[in-house]
Structure 1
Amino acid sequence: MRQAIFESDNLQVVKVPGRPGGPVFVTFEPMLNVREPARHGFGEAFFDKRGHTAYHVMCRANDWYQYPEMQAAVAQIRADIPQATRVVAYGSSMGGYAALRFSSWLGADTVIALSPQASIDPARAGWEKRWAPDNPALVWDRLAPRREATCYVVYDPYNTDRRHVELLRREVAIVPLYSYFSDHHVTEYVQESGLLEALILGAARGDFDAPTWQAELWRRRSAISYYRNLRPRKCRGLLRRLRYGLIERVLDLRYMRFASPYRLPAISPEPVARGE
């Protein structure tokens, strides 16, 4: 039964119990234009359908979780999770930022961060002009990600997000996964490819084959609308056309060696991203 285990003026943490055993997921929602009071948590329907226990952290506004009660909220989640349970922190964009920043308090074994930000501090990321928090406080901006966790970071290396990843690499070892030509729409890009489930559940189990998954995502790019829409923009001008044409040729050669009898199954895209 869905239940709120923590509530304040700024936060609500909802627990959706699943089958006993197996990994437990803690999700953080991304920036939202509208926050309906009765909304589901990030990926809630996905985890519930598959019988996985999940805790969904939902915030009052696009404040990047810079609330003083975050420590108490995460402590409540951690106290509710049985010892020796694998914990996976999961989020996209602002939620990916939170999944990384609060991974130590959670004792997370795995972090899955899709196009995350490393910092909202202008002193550290003054070049970031795309978003600004509704609340400019920087309560938890320098919390270090858990070094013992396996951190999967999915991003477009030809987008401003790469600068955030460069900052993150100074704090923690990451496993980079590239959604080439997705821009910041990484969650939707990977979801549309049909490979988001393989990433989430494989990483949670600890048997995720990153190189093969990466090669498969590249092979499926032409079926992804975000790739089809963004790629033509890279062809404007002769030099850009030559540059990105060469890049794609190099990537084709790089991932060709993974064209083996093993294939990840085609997975029908589901509303994993927002749990609708």
Structure 2
Amino acid sequence: MADPKRVFDGDLLRADLFNPSGRRLFVSFRQRIAVDGAFSRPNPVRSFIAQDHAHLHIQSRFNDWFVNDETEALEHCLADALRGYGRRVAMGFSMGGYAALRLSRCLDLRHVMLVSPQVSIHPDVVPFDKRFRGSSGGFHFAQGDLGIHGRRQLAGTVIVDPFRALDMRNAHMIQTLFPRIGLARTACSGHPASRVLREAGQFPALQRMLFDPPVSSGAVTVLHRNARRHSAIYWKKLAELATLRKRADLARVAMSRATALGRSRG
């Protein structure tokens, strides 16, 4: 695979394009990382390239939710650089899920698959969600407003663990702004809500759903339901939930199942 074409090269934001001759466009975003401050080496998603997609990967150097002094310049650059592509889809996790929504208009996205995304990190928008407050100091209210910058006609699916209350509140707020986005509830999967699917080796199947959108939220839920049977993550989280709800019998069975699965994988 040839090196990507650098579409935008800033101090804070970077965008690289693999297989620029593809007829369709797939966009991915770097998610929030534990230690920020440097760009990562981008890698192509070969399954999309094999399906005649160009692959654009967008990174933010810091965990700033892609809202900074270079955001506007990035938007103008992408709008010009990506002319001519047909169907445009994107996938994003957490911070990357927010970025897909925030940049959906300039990217002219038609369909997205978002895993545990935030609607915002601004305290005036999500006063109930303080998880990422440490990253919100430079987050400009208007510049980060999805109602202003997002493409309202955008369709897609938000994958979310219904037992993660903060993630669910963000998901419902996203649905208010983007009425064509549905919810796929993947219970006891945590954050991000694709962990059970990854553990079961079903993540490629999840990606393939974007080859021919729209993605059915129900199909994602069925994929998760089949994967959870053999997922130690699922059974451990179910045991924790059952304990909180004082379901001792269920907690005991679930933890036993989690332990057995953990041993089999070891």
- Taking structure 2 as the reference length, the TM-score comes to 0.80
Structure 2 SS opposite 1:105: helix
Indicate whether 1:44 and 2:44 are aligned. yes
Select 2:145's aligned residue among 142, 145, 156: 142
Name structure 2 gaps, 5 residues minimum.
252-266
Q: Which residue number corresponds to residue 194 of structure 1?
A: 201
* TM-superposition CA deviations, 1:184-239 (whole Å, max 9, x none): 132333323333333333234225344234223112212223212211101215x4
> Which letter does structure 1 place at the counterpart of 2:176?
R
Q: Which residue of 2 aligns with 1:169?
A: 175
Q: Tell me, yes or no, if the aligned pair for 1:115 and 1:154 is still in contact at 8 Å.
A: yes
- What is the alpha-carbon root mean square deviation over aligned residues? 2.7
Which residue of structure 1 lines up, in the alignment, with residue 263 of structure 2? none
- For structure 1, the residue ranges without an aligned partner over 5 or more in a row are 246-276
Q: After the TM superposition, which residues 114-125 of structure 1 pair with which residues of structure 2 at under 5 Å, given as runs?
A: 114-125=115-126
State the distance in 1 between where 2:110 and 2:73 align.
20
- Matched residue, 2:236: 229
1:263 corresponding residue in structure 2: none
Q: Letter of the aligned partner of 2:68 in structure 1?
A: Y
Contact 1:63–1:136 (8 Å) recurs in 2: yes
Deviations 1:229-270 (A, max 9, x none): 211101215x4428x89xxxxxxxxxxxxxxxxxxxxxxxxx
**Residue deviations 1:107-150 (CA, integer Å, cap 9, x gap):** 10111111000111111211112223164322532133322221
**Distance change >3 Å, CA 48–CA 150, structure 1 → 2:** closer
Q: Is the 8 A contact 2:16 2:56 kept in 1?
A: yes
- Name 2:257's counterpart in structure 1: none
1:233 and 1:92 map into 2 onto residues whose CA distance is: 24
Q: Contact 2:202/2:227 (CA < 8 Å) preserved in 1? A: no
Query: Match of 1:136, as an amino acid?
Result: G
SS of alignment partner, residue 124 of structure 2: helix
The residue correspondences of 1:254-269 to structure 2 (distance < 5 A) are none
CA distance in 2, matches of 1:212, 1:151: 13
Give the total of aligned pairs: 243
- Look up the match of 2:67: 66
Whether 2:5 is the aligned partner of 1:3: answer: yes
Greater shift in the superposed pair: 58-67 or 180-189: 180-189
Identity of aligned residues (%): 24
Is 1:109 the counterpart of 2:110 in the alignment? yes
- Corresponding residue of 2:158: 153
**What is the TM-score normalised by the length of structure 1?**
0.77
Secondary structure of 2:97's counterpart equals helix
